[in-house]
Structure 1
Amino acid sequence: MVEGPPSPVGVVPVTSREQDAVRILLLLDNAGEPVDVAERTLPGLDTAVCVVRSTVRLQKLDFWLRNPDYLADELLNDYEVSLEQPLLDIAASILDSEEPEVRRYPMLRHKFGAWENIDNALAVLRGAGLAARKRRGTVERVRQSDYYLLEKGREVAREIVAAEPVFGYYVSRVRLVVQLADGLGGTQLKRRQYLQREYAETPLREHISSVAPRARARLATLRAATHDKASGSGSDRQEGADEGV
């Protein structure tokens, strides 16, 4: 699952079933919420350790994981609101590197936003006893699907990262994604992602285009403003000292 050089222009990079399975496994392990005691009495969930509730939420979290350019741009959004320097620094570490090109795996835009078929990846995890999916509703109409990580899945996820430190990248990025999604449900995440013009204007069933060029230009503007502010503060202090203030 080690990424190679950026794909040639016009070629959309794709992932294998095994790549998707590992990414979803690490996503469940680091983004899941605690399982209710009552849920563990349900068939197949006696060893469940955490859950990501709803396909919408899983797909929206996976979108930011698969698209570092969008993740970085959202960090810039949060920085402009809070002015917390770590947010700018993390966004810069992504945009100053080739991560938006090397680590980007575009998703198709469907009626309800970014979506990719993860059934094959889930089949791998479920077949190995690492994860489980439970559907709510009726046979005719499924209202919601929840995705559970099982104890064995957590063990395997930790073993993968320990044996292959390169997968630690996904652990760190999932943590950023979870911070962005803090307190937001799947529908709210969808609304936030639709605020991105490139995302919203992508035609249905086409791959959502990158925002890396715009995000990098935006980063340069924010850096310049931060530098000017810092320089201005220094000048003000010097003027005050010259005037004996």
Structure 2
Amino acid sequence: MPPQMSSAQKAMRLFAVLVAGCERLATPGADGETAIFKGETRLHALMFWLRNPDYLAWELLELHAATGDAALVARVRAMLAAEEPILRRDAMPKWRFGAYDPIDTEMAMLTSRRLVRTVHRPAGPKSAENSFLLFPAAFRFEGAVAGNIAYQWYADRMRVVMQVAGERFGSDLKKTQYEHIEYAKTPGHGLIPPITRRVEERLRGIEEGS
């Protein structure tokens, strides 16, 4: 298990997710925002793959099955060789309809620096959820921390997460995660368990069949 993270470290991780998953605006918004991350459901779904390398590795193998891209298998092999499912895993609890961890403290830190602001926006005819506005200071800050080793790991890994997630909505990403019985059967407030053994078995089957 990774060591306990400070609020500042968690804020840095959250920032990496927001920057990787946001949409740049063609022109600044009414409050000066230059990008938006749409949907807190999507945020937690992306965060789950960032914090659980074994589930991300499974999705990379799914992508390999669809595309035949051998680089995806190599990526999974490297993740397992580095023991990422143990050393990089930061388990998320199950809450209502999927993986969820409160982000209020970390978001307050980012908001206080005028990097990000939460807004409540419609998510459908009868629902709404939080989205997040990103301001020019956020991208200046991204450039300033580009040399930070810890942040760079998150930024690099989020490129892999976004390769898996694509343009899908948060509800679609949650459905994908629910396809794992371990995830689906986790009781409320329980930590979602690893699937490392199944990933290892699937990788071995691919390598033996190649």
Give me the TM-score of the superposition, normalised by structure 2.
0.92
Select which of 46, 58, 61 maps to 1:76: 61
Deviation at 1:69, TM superposition (A): 1.0
The DSSP-based 3-state class of the residue aligned with 1:161 is: coil
8 Å contact kept, 1:76–1:87: yes
What residue in structure 1 maps to residue 202 of structure 2?
A: 218
Q: Deviations over 1:3-27 (max 9, x none)?
A: xxx46xxxxx653321210011111
Identify which range, 18-27 or 165-174, moves more after superposition: 165-174
Aligned residues: CA RMSD: 1.8
What residue in structure 2 maps to residue 175 of structure 1?
A: 159
1:192 aligns with 2:192: no
Select which of 40, 62, 69 maps to 1:55: 40
1:151 aligns with 2:139: no
Letter paired with 1:24: L
Deviation at 1:172, TM superposition (A): 1.3
8 Å contact kept, 1:110–1:205: yes
In structure 1, how many angstroms separate the alpha carbons of the residues matched to 2:36 and 2:4? 26
What residue in structure 1 maps to residue 190 of structure 2?
A: 206
In structure 2, how many angstroms separate the alpha carbons of the residues matched to 1:211 and 1:14? 22
Deviation at 1:82, TM superposition (A): 1.9
8 Å contact kept, 1:23–1:170: yes
In structure 1, how many angstroms separate the alpha carbons of the residues matched to 2:174 and 2:26? 25
1:135 aligns with 2:125: no
Select which of 105, 115, 125 maps to 2:100: 115
8 Å contact kept, 1:79–1:85: yes
The DSSP-based 3-state class of the residue aligned with 1:203 is: coil
In structure 2, how many angstroms separate the alpha carbons of the residues matched to 1:142 and 1:134? 14
The DSSP-based 3-state class of the residue aligned with 2:146 is: helix
In structure 1, how many angstroms separate the alpha carbons of the residues matched to 2:98 and 2:23? 23
Larger Rg: 1
8 Å contact kept, 1:54–1:145: yes
Letter paired with 2:10: D
Deviation at 1:211, TM superposition (A): 1.0
What residue in structure 2 maps to residue 104 of structure 1?
A: 89
8 Å contact kept, 1:92–1:219: yes
8 Å contact kept, 1:31–1:175: no
Deviation at 1:66, TM superposition (A): 0.8
Structure with the larger RCO, 1 or 2 (CA within 8 Å, 6+ apart): 2
Letter paired with 1:178: M
Identify which range, 93-102 or 63-72, moves more after superposition: 93-102
What residue in structure 2 maps to residue 26 of structure 1?
A: 16
Give me the TM-score of the superposition, normalised by structure 1.
0.79
What residue in structure 2 maps to residue 16 of structure 1?
A: 6
8 Å contact kept, 1:14–1:105: no
